Amino acid sequence: MDKNLAAFLDQSAYTVEVEYTKQDGSTNGKSYKFVTNIPGIRKGDFVVVNSRIDTGISYQILDTRMSVITVGGSLEGALEEDVFSGIVIHGSLDVVRVVRANKDVAIEPNDPKEYSWIIQKVDFDSFVQTINRNKQIVNTAQSAYKRNLRRSFAERILGDMSQEEQDALNKLLAPPASK
C-alpha cells in the first residue's frame, strides 16, 4: 500500500517545502517536503515539523495533555494505560520556514518515502502584540522608574548621614546664587 495514501485521499491536503535555519540565520540551501491540510500556509510562514532525526528522545501524547520524555528512544511498557492517542514523535520538533506551498499533493504515487505531516502553523500575531505592549509599558514607565531610582538612591545615601553631613551636602548641591 502507498505510504502516503492519506495525503492522496485527503481532499484538503497539499505539500509544502521548508528550509531549516541555523542559529546564524543561514540555511544549507536544501528544502524538505512535508504534507499538511492546515489551511492558508504560505511562503514565508513558520511551521512546526517532526524532523524524524534519531535523537534518542521520544515524545508521547498522554491523557494529561502533557508530554513524557524518555531518553533512549523507547516508551514501550513505560506508560501502561495512560496513552491518549498512541502518537509517538521520534526525533525533534523544529520550527522551519516555508519556502514553497504547492496547490496540491506534489508526491508521486508509490513514492518509497513516507512524508511527514506538518504539526502546526506558528502564529506570531500574539507574540508581536506582546512585544509591542511590553515596549509601550517600558516607554510609559521609564521616566517614573528613573525618578524613583534617583530618589531611592538619594534617600539611602542621606539616610546614612548625620544631620551635619546632610546640611553640608545640601549646601554643596544648592544652585549657585545669581549675581
Angle made by CA atoms 90, 95, 98, in degrees to the nearest 5: 115
Tell whether the model's pLDDT for residue 167 goes beyond 80. Answer: yes
What is the arithmetic mean of pLDDT over 18-36? Answer: 87
Q: How confident is the model at residue 91 (pLDDT cuts 50, 70, 90)?
A: low
pLDDT for res 82: 40
Q: Where are the domains of the chain?
A: 5-122, 129-173
**Contact status, residue 71 vs residue 144, Cβ threshold 8 Å:** no
Average pLDDT, integer, range 152-165: 87
CA distances from 91 to 9, 32, 79, 178 (A): 27, 16, 19, 76
For residue 58, the model assigns a pLDDT of 45
Confidence (pLDDT) at 66: 42
The answer to whether the beta carbons of residues 75 and 68 sit under 8 Å apart is yes
Residue 124 has what pLDDT? 86
> Confidence class of residue 78 from pLDDT cuts 50, 70 and 90?
very low
* Mean pLDDT calculated for residue range 39-68: 65
> For residue 136, what pLDDT band results from cuts at 50, 70 and 90?
very high
Query: What phi and psi values does residue 90 have, to the nearest 5 degrees?
Result: -95, 140
Per-residue pLDDT, averaged over 158-178, amounts to 86
